[in-house]
Amino acid sequence: MPGRDERIAVSRDGNNVVLTLSGDWTMTGQPPRLANLLSVIRSDGATVTVRAKGLGRWDATLPSFLYALQAEAARRDLVLRLDGLPAALRATLDLAGKSDRPGLSGPVAADGFVSRVGLWALAEIRQLGVVLGFLGDVLLELFAPRRGVRQRPRASETLALFRDAGAGTLGIVSIVTLLVGAILAFVGAVQLRNFGAGILVADLVGIAMARELAAVMTAIVVAGRTGASYAARLAAMQGNEEIDALKTLGISPIAYLVVPRVLALSFMMPLLYIYGTAMGLLGGMLIAIGLLDLSTVAYLEQTRGAIGTANFALGFVKSITFGLLVAAVGCRCGLAAGRSAADVGKAATDAVVISIVGIILLDAIFAVCANALDI
């Protein structure tokens, strides 16, 4: 046989060709040529059996050769059997045969609207299961952390996350909530003063900010700033194989990366909500004083009587829920990202879009529940 390799002994038993591998398979040696090796097989449907006998040292050269042999056998419609291979070599081949790209394995999707809808639904159900598993892992690390290997970052790193989620967001939260309160007061003042009820602008701004807008607007701002930052940071770590390094060291990425971020936003969002409510009331008061000639004392007294504990408590609970949502979505999008630069941008975009949609959806659920409970 041309180009015969001393490490491969070829024997034939009828329609069965036996390849016996021996010796050392390292990168220092010349890899065998498959075309020459399989030239002894003339008919399709033949059986090729690969065995290991007296196998010495081997590295990636041997799994690469066997993987290419499998592909060539499939192309030629040959039956390939692997007998007596070391367990480590079999595990390497199994890992090489797996693909994390959807749609490359399994039956080809049938054409037709119903088939496409069914496959889409199955994919979404599987994705939902992955997301629920991620949330379960986060809850386990929060309330039942593992012992042994250090799982949490240093205190200084955690404090930096708290500072970034809180103090780092004050500027944009101030501008957004101040302007929202001012716009709300302006719209209300234009209409209410026609009926001589300008003082009710304080009720309008106070209830709207405390019950709905402060929590929602603050959450949207945080989603666009902090949530996208979490997704981009973790996606970049995924691309740099830092996540894989943590797993190799026995450190859970959920405990080390996700839990501190979830805690940071969960604690800081209520504080940002309180601050945003105050800034919204300030913006409304400035407009009311300027357009309606109301005194500061009258405006604040009317606001204090209008808000009530229930409205404030509802907004406070919303802010905590929104914080959990934004942190979880940002971290999940980052950890699920690919390893290219484009995947980093896609992870940040997905985190913002999913977070905003989730915030609006949760706010609608809160509204329905509050109405049912007569809050």
Give the tens place of pLDDT for each residue, 343-370.
Answer: 898 999 999 999 999 999 999 999 999 8
- What pLDDT, on the 0 to 100 scale, is given for residue 72? 77
What is the number of other CB atoms lying within 10 angstroms of the CB of residue 161? 21
- pLDDT of 179 above 90: yes
What does the alpha-carbon distance between residue 160 and residue 150 come to, in Å, rounded to a whole number? 19
Give the Cα separation of 268 and 66 in Å (integer).
55
Asked if 355 and 326 count as a contact pair (C-beta separation under 8 A), the reply is yes
Q: What is the pLDDT of residues 33-66, one digit of tens each?
A: 666 666 666 555 577 888 888 788 777 778 888 8
Q: Is residue 105 over pLDDT 50? A: no
What's the pLDDT score for residue 101? 46
What's the mean per-residue pLDDT of the chain? 82
Which helix (H) or strand (E) element contains residue 25? strand 16-25
User: Could you give the percent of the chain with pLDDT greater than 70?
Assistant: 86
Longest dimension (CA), the chain: 105
Nearest to 302 by CA among 177, 213, 207: 207
pLDDT on residue 218? 93
pLDDT score for 98? 61
Whole-prediction pTM? 0.66
- Indicate whether 28 pLDDT > 80: no
Query: Contact 8/19 with Cβ under 8 angstroms?
Result: yes
Q: How confident is the model at residue 148 (pLDDT cuts 50, 70, 90)?
A: low
Residues whose CB is less than 8 angstroms from the CB of residue 89 and which lie 6 or more positions away in sequence, other chains included: 52, 58, 62, 63, 66
Per-residue pLDDT of 239-272, as tens digits, reads 888 888 888 877 888 888 888 899 999 899 999 9
* 63 three-class SS: helix
Element (H, E) at 11: strand 8-13
State yes or no: pLDDT of 95 exceeds 90. Answer: no
Is pLDDT of 118 > 90? no
Q: What's the CA gap between 170 and 268, in Å, rounded?
A: 11
What's the average model confidence in pLDDT over 118-145?
A: 80
Domains in the chain, ordered, with CATH? 8-97 (3.30.750.24), 155-372 (no CATH)
List pLDDT tens digits, range 300-340. Answer: 888 888 888 888 889 899 999 999 999 999 998 988 888 88
Q: Are 198 and 185 in contact (CB under 8 A)?
A: no
Mean pLDDT confidence for 16-26:
79
pLDDT of residue 238: 87
| pLDDT in the model for residue 39 | 65
Q: What pLDDT sits at residue 44? A: 53
Burial of residue 216 (CB within 10 Å: 0-12, 13-18, 19+) is buried
Residue 229 in this model has a pLDDT that exceeds 60? yes
Quick one: residue 94, left, alpha or beta (phi over 0 = left, psi -120 to 50 = alpha)? alpha
Inform me whether the pLDDT recorded for 104 exceeds 50: no
Residue-level pLDDT at 231? 92
Q: Tens of pLDDT along 276-286?
A: 999 999 998 88
Summarize the confidence of residues 285-305 as an average pLDDT: 84
